[in-house]
Structure 1
Amino acid sequence: MVPQGQAPEGPGPPARYRFDDVQVDTVAHTLTRGGVPCALEPKAFAVLAMLLQHAGELVEKDELLDAVWGHRHVTPGVLTRAIAQLRAALGDDAHQPRYIHTHHALGYRFIGDLQAEGGGEAPASDAPAATLAGTASAGPTENPDAGRGGTTHAVPAPARAPDAPTARRRLAWGMLAAAGVLVLVTLMLTHGLSDPRPAVGEASVAVMPFRSLSADRGDRYFAEGLAVEMHGALAGVPGLKVAALVPGRDDDTPGDPRELGKRLGVANVLDASVRREGPRVRISARLTDTRSGFVLWSQTYDRQNSDIFSTQAEIASKVVEALMGVLPPDPPALARRLHPTSRLSAYEPYLRGLQLLQGTASTEELSEAVAHFEQALQQDPAFARAQAGICRARIRAFELTRDAGVYARAQAACLQAARLDPRLGEVHLAMGDLHRARNELDAARESYTQALQDVSLRPAAYIGLGRIEGEQGHDALALDYFDRARQLRPGDAVVHREIGYQHYLDDRLAAAIESYRVATTLEPDDAGLWSSLGGLYLADGRRADAEAAFERSLSIKPGFGALSNLGTLRFEQGDYPRAAELYARAAAMSPGDYRPVGNTADALSAIPGAAGNARSTYARAAEMAERYVAIKSGDAEAMAWLAWYRANLDEADAAREWLARARDAGTAQSEVAFLSAQVHARLGDLDLARAALADARALDVAESRIRASPVLKPLSGGSEVASQGGS
């Protein structure tokens, strides 16, 4: 091997390779099979390039890890996953390989009949290898949209949060799955955060929310929905970097393009105004250079409402031509993306639903989105993207509320979307969310990998893949996926929320707090983010900061997450009647969620004379939690809480069994350790309770949380645990 960073002697590696019906262009980073483009993640493509450069040679695993990931101190599974993705793209069978041969415990060898095209000779078995330094570890080169998983919350991803009845998990209901390497980007101008801004790319653009000039202020959804569709279409253009959607402004002004360019790392900004009057629509669009502030292109379109799809496609083509100097590589595909339905009467409610699905939607907003998507389907029953929207909204609602009944409705919606158009990228993404929510991880991976082929959906697909790995305890791999999503959507609060939740799952509380601070800076009017941040503050023992965050959340919009978190604060302060009241209000707002019900039982158990009510409430919480765990079988925290509920119902064997299952899951270790201490203390297993409490402290569970637990307070103080019911 040539030392990394030095050029090999002689001719460089080929730019293009051909074997059978496969063509690989290492400059354009493209792979086609039978003339059809195949999507590959950047790391997988870099692995393929290295194998091709060393065709016929054994390339050791450590060499690949060093060259592609920059070091070998990553989970070995990242290489295994990259090889699996390559086999899927090439149609290669691991048991009877035609292209990639596995030397077990050693590495891999390319064994195909290789022909090089341009830029050098095909490497022989003794040819010097070119280093991949500089390109192999680069992030994705194309940008997209969609999330969440909803979620992903578009991903607006599902709102995930710490959710603990006595402490960290009673905390913040409004968070959703996951995370990534903590990178503080864009808009970090407040809260004292650092501000490493992304470098400006040449062929790059940010799509501003289109401004509505219609007399009806309620018409904003139409203009903003057009911007979302435009963003998705442009994100699918190879070679064009598209930043995350810029949040709307209350004053409807586009803002300073030069400042936007600095914050988002783009060279251009597209903004437009939309005015609808009767049967006509006027769209005035302009493309602005963010470095000079000069307008590069502008045009006004005065058309019939029925021409909206062709107008959008025309604007997109003009933008691509202005930025890249060429027409879109596939104009029909661009037009199809911007023409999702044959009926304008279906498009308008679809845009309403799409607007609500963006970002970090609340349960109320998700329900409203479903209603709009259903209205769209009434107008066009074959509108697959609207049906996929219902699926994704309901999956996100399930992840927010943990209501088993919501999952059943989500499953029905997803299956109907698959029947309408099983090839649609949004359907693959929705099915990935569905399988992941049920812990069907192999099927989820397959669906997300298929969704990656739609470039506009890649951030959401990466988030989904990251959640899978994070929930299995594969922290490094989860962070790698989330960082890919961050690179594609810089400045997106959803991605930073995912980053924060992953840090929380891996017991990095300070990093989780910092990520949520970033998210609230990016989306300062998101009530769920403030509730989740407050929950994290509370887990860290910062009660004043927690209360301020909860109050901020409730001032924006009352929600069950903030109410429950505020109840936890009152519980820790010993105000059990007030805590029970707040928990009950939260439970009424989310009647299918076991968590606020279990919290209510905890508060009642601490009130003299309320033991009977506490017991019946624990029974209800346990029944609801078991229905949830039957769907989400790998949720360690849910199983640990179920153990706690069963312990308070004096079902010792069931409590110990659920606790063992929670520990075996291997995730959320600090939460499981804390609840193990409570369960053992409640059952009178004092030695086991002390050992679990020591584990919880070693995992940085806040001492204030331990002292606030009635069942642990005597133990933490060194005295024996009194015989008492509940926490």
Structure 2
Amino acid sequence: MTHPQPSYAFDRFRLRTAQHELLCDGQPVSLEPKAFALLTELLARRGELLGRDDLLDAVWGHRYVTPGVLSRSIAQLRRALGDDSDHPRYIQTVHALGYRFIAPVTCAGDGHAMDAVPREAPVTPQAGADATNESSVSPGDGLTVPIAVLPFANMSGDPEQVYFSDGITEDIITELSRWRILAVRSRAASFRYRGVAADMRQVARELHVRYILEGSVRRMGDRMRITAQLVDAQDGKHVWAEKFDRDVADVFAVQDEVVRTIVGTLVGRVQAVGAEQARRKPPASLAAYECVLKGNALPWAEPWGAEEATRMFERAIALDPGYGFAHSLLAAMRYGAWYEAPIGDDAALQESYALATRALELDPDESTCHSIYAQLCHLRQEYELSLQHVRRAVELNPNNQWNAGDMGMMLNYAGEPEEALQWFRRARELDPYFDVPWYWREYGLAYLLLHRYDEALAMLDRITGRNYRYSALRAASYALRGDDEIARIHAADCLAQRPEFTIAHYLAKTPFKRHQDSDLLAEGLRRAGLPD
């Protein structure tokens, strides 16, 4: 008799071994075969500490593979699951020993839920958040009000509309974050609870918040219904609840009404007006807005994702030429293409600068427009102007972790790596799950410029994924530390990915204000064996 192959369910995911598929909320999740086999092994032995050799034997058999293959597969799993190595929800790393699957799992083969392994400590509260005396928050006491916005549920019956409900959620998070009196948890922190029937008090404890906003979006043709409920997690009661039945084109008015109500309720203001109010300029076209939502949801680091996102942003501008935010995002895509172009081919950079300039003209109160314009100013070696605009981005949205990270990056190239470190730390205070590769690259660069090579490598080791720029920076850090043999290994990896790599090209794409900074990096790259 043939026994059925087991299926495993955890959180929003279901892994079906017989069909060789992983589903999230019923939708397929792309995984390489070895990563799928690795996840299956972790689920089959959930709760156990599995050594690296155990996993290599189980998944790769007796073939010789390097331990780095396992690390890359683990990293891919974490990306697919939305997990974080610092604050794991699913896969826990036990330093020097191996890995353990820690979330509660139900096996369809036996129908029994497995005991949950205790999760690691909850996330650190944001700077300024009142995580201890939550019962005495008032507008005049000088404290910030901690709040989380959970992903609005997609009630449309169409999985393709998830991007729409997610986009509405993200916009509300962004608009609330502009208010200094509110300490709003990041998207990465809040979206860990998508599709989870979690107890509000537990969520509040884990995110260190007093208030939670939840809701749903149902789209029916040209009409939509948005529900929103603000919960006081201290007693579990609803502070207010509202239902909005509107035309789809009125989505921006509904978002603003939700924000005004929250601010008015929690901060004691009748309406969100005055100098502190964000003067957002919504797009004139709903179709343009949807293009931006779709493009922003794509993986820009993947060539296909960048290509499709570029098309979406171009389409958004064609539909609404006055959409500043879309111009800003397309500018980011254009200078991303310029990074990969040969020296002297500056057409993409010039187009990017024109787009970023236009974005700022169209929407000077959007922080992202200032942040991306600041990056273009850096590439044009206009360092003071770069710092001016990235500071303005932080002023407009002080709770945005991306703005804080961008501030650190601009300070690196402007010759202020010590101050840059403070902003990189600030980004992780705002969002303990902030884990994009460029952030760790720039964090490591700051330490390198300060001649603190051990700390530089510790930051660079946090990067997941393989990129010749990261390999070059690792090579320089090891070489400057005196580990020439390891430096050459990373230099070889850089050249394997980018055979035409030269130090001159590398530095031309990331100009430094201070000659001693570019000279130090060039010295490290040269000592690692990379060509001039």
| Class of the TM-score when normalised by the shorter of the 2 chains | 0.5 to 0.7
Letter in 2 for 1:198: P
Aligned equivalent of 2:87: 187
User: Which of the residues 147, 154, 165 maps onto 1:212?
Assistant: 154
In the aligned structure 1, how far is the partner of 2:85 from the partner of 2:270?
A: 32
Mark the runs of 5 or more structure 1 residues left unpaired by the alignment. 1-171, 173-183, 521-525, 542-564, 573-578, 587-595, 599-620, 637-660, 680-725
In the aligned structure 1, how far is the partner of 2:338 from the partner of 2:227?
A: 40
Which one has a bigger Cα radius of gyration? Answer: 1
Aligned equivalent of 2:512: 634
Aligned equivalent of 2:264: 321
Aligned equivalent of 1:371: 311
In the aligned structure 2, how far is the partner of 1:597 from the partner of 1:291?
A: 58
Identity across aligned pairs (percent)? Answer: 24
Please tell me whether the aligned partners of residues 207 and 269 of structure 1 are also in contact (alpha carbons under 8 angstroms): yes
Mark the runs of 5 or more structure 2 residues left unpaired by the alignment. 1-71, 73-83, 96-119, 135-144, 480-485
| 1:441 to 1:537, Cα distance in 2 relative to 1, 3 A | closer
Deviations 1:187-218 (Å, cap 9, x if unpaired)? 26733598572275241112233332223222
In the aligned structure 2, how far is the partner of 1:272 from the partner of 1:250?
A: 13
| 1:422 to 1:314, Cα distance in 2 relative to 1, 3 A | closer
Aligned equivalent of 2:518: 665
Is 1:395 equivalent to 2:335 in the alignment? yes
| 1:225 to 1:446, Cα distance in 2 relative to 1, 3 A | same
Is 1:344 equivalent to 2:286 in the alignment? yes
Tell me how far 1:329 sits from its aligned partner.
3.9
Deviations 1:482-529 (Å, cap 9, x if unpaired)? 233333344322496353453455454554565567x67xxxxx7569
Tell me how far 1:677 sits from its aligned partner.
6.9
User: Which of the residues 349, 362, 386 maps onto 1:444?
Assistant: 386
Deviations 1:680-715 (Å, cap 9, x if unpaired)? xxxxxxxxxxxxxxxxxxxxxxxxxxxxxxxxxxxx
Letter in 1 for 2:512: G
Aligned equivalent of 2:240: 297
The DSSP-based 3-state class of the residue aligned with 1:493 is coil
| 1:401 to 1:270, Cα distance in 2 relative to 1, 3 A | farther
Please tell me whether the aligned partners of residues 362 and 528 of structure 1 are also in contact (alpha carbons under 8 angstroms): no
The DSSP-based 3-state class of the residue aligned with 1:484 is helix
| 1:366 to 1:457, Cα distance in 2 relative to 1, 3 A | farther
Is 1:197 equivalent to 2:124 in the alignment? yes
The DSSP-based 3-state class of the residue aligned with 1:282 is strand
In the aligned structure 2, how far is the partner of 1:439 from the partner of 1:508?
A: 26
User: Which of the residues 468, 478, 500 maps onto 2:410?
Assistant: 468
| 1:265 to 1:363, Cα distance in 2 relative to 1, 3 A | farther
In the aligned structure 2, how far is the partner of 1:240 from the partner of 1:283?
A: 23
Bigger relative CO (Cα 8 Å, ≥ 6 apart): 1
Letter in 2 for 1:315: V
Mapping of 1:676-691 within 5 angstroms?
676=527, 678=529
Please tell me whether the aligned partners of residues 356 and 369 of structure 1 are also in contact (alpha carbons under 8 angstroms): yes
User: Which of the residues 154, 160, 171 maps onto 1:229?
Assistant: 171
The DSSP-based 3-state class of the residue aligned with 1:266 is coil
Mapping of 1:85-104 within 5 angstroms?
none
Please tell me whether the aligned partners of residues 218 and 225 of structure 2 are also in contact (alpha carbons under 8 angstroms): yes
User: Which of the residues 331, 355, 380 maps onto 2:320?
Assistant: 380
Mapping of 1:245-644 within 5 angstroms?
245-246=187-188, 248=191, 252-253=195-196, 255-330=198-273, 336-337=279-280, 340-356=282-298, 361-398=301-338, 404-405=345-346, 406-421=348-363, 424-455=366-397, 459-472=401-414, 474-494=416-436, 497=440, 498-503=442-447, 506=450, 508=452, 510-512=454-456, 514-515=458-459, 527=465, 583=496, 586=497, 596-598=498-500, 621-622=501-502, 626=504, 629-630=507-508, 632-634=510-512
The RMSD of aligned alpha carbons is 4.4
| 1:442 to 1:496, Cα distance in 2 relative to 1, 3 A | closer
| 1:507 to 1:245, Cα distance in 2 relative to 1, 3 A | farther
Please tell me whether the aligned partners of residues 186 and 264 of structure 1 are also in contact (alpha carbons under 8 angstroms): no
In the aligned structure 2, how far is the partner of 1:634 from the partner of 1:537?
A: 19
The DSSP-based 3-state class of the residue aligned with 2:93 is coil
The DSSP-based 3-state class of the residue aligned with 1:446 is helix
Please tell me whether the aligned partners of residues 177 and 400 of structure 2 are also in contact (alpha carbons under 8 angstroms): no
Please tell me whether the aligned partners of residues 229 and 240 of structure 2 are also in contact (alpha carbons under 8 angstroms): yes
Tell me how far 1:233 sits from its aligned partner.
0.8
In the aligned structure 2, how far is the partner of 1:303 from the partner of 1:527?
A: 43
Letter in 1 for 2:326: A
In the aligned structure 2, how far is the partner of 1:254 from the partner of 1:539?
A: 46
Aligned equivalent of 1:91: none
Please tell me whether the aligned partners of residues 197 and 262 of structure 1 are also in contact (alpha carbons under 8 angstroms): no
Tell me how far 1:225 sits from its aligned partner.
1.1
In the aligned structure 2, how far is the partner of 1:262 from the partner of 1:536?
A: 38
The number of aligned residues is 396
In the aligned structure 2, how far is the partner of 1:234 from the partner of 1:364?
A: 33
Deviations 1:95-141 (Å, cap 9, x if unpaired)? xxxxxxxxxxxxxxxxxxxxxxxxxxxxxxxxxxxxxxxxxxxxxxx
Please tell me whether the aligned partners of residues 343 and 379 of structure 1 are also in contact (alpha carbons under 8 angstroms): yes
Tell me how far 1:340 sits from its aligned partner.
0.8
Tell me how far 1:400 sits from its aligned partner.
7.3
The DSSP-based 3-state class of the residue aligned with 2:195 is coil
In the aligned structure 1, how far is the partner of 2:373 from the partner of 2:151?
A: 29
Please tell me whether the aligned partners of residues 233 and 316 of structure 1 are also in contact (alpha carbons under 8 angstroms): yes
In the aligned structure 1, how far is the partner of 2:446 from the partner of 2:504?
A: 24
Please tell me whether the aligned partners of residues 356 and 373 of structure 2 are also in contact (alpha carbons under 8 angstroms): yes
Deviations 1:429-483 (Å, cap 9, x if unpaired)? 2210101123321121122233333125764443333223323553321112223
Deviations 1:375-434 (Å, cap 9, x if unpaired)? 111111111121122113333554577875442332232233244455654332221010
| 1:272 to 1:672, Cα distance in 2 relative to 1, 3 A | farther
In the aligned structure 2, how far is the partner of 1:187 from the partner of 1:533?
A: 26
In the aligned structure 1, how far is the partner of 2:528 from the partner of 2:491?
A: 22
Letter in 1 for 2:264: E
Tell me how far 1:278 sits from its aligned partner.
0.9
State TM-score, norm by structure 1: 0.46
The DSSP-based 3-state class of the residue aligned with 2:188 is coil
Aligned equivalent of 2:181: 239
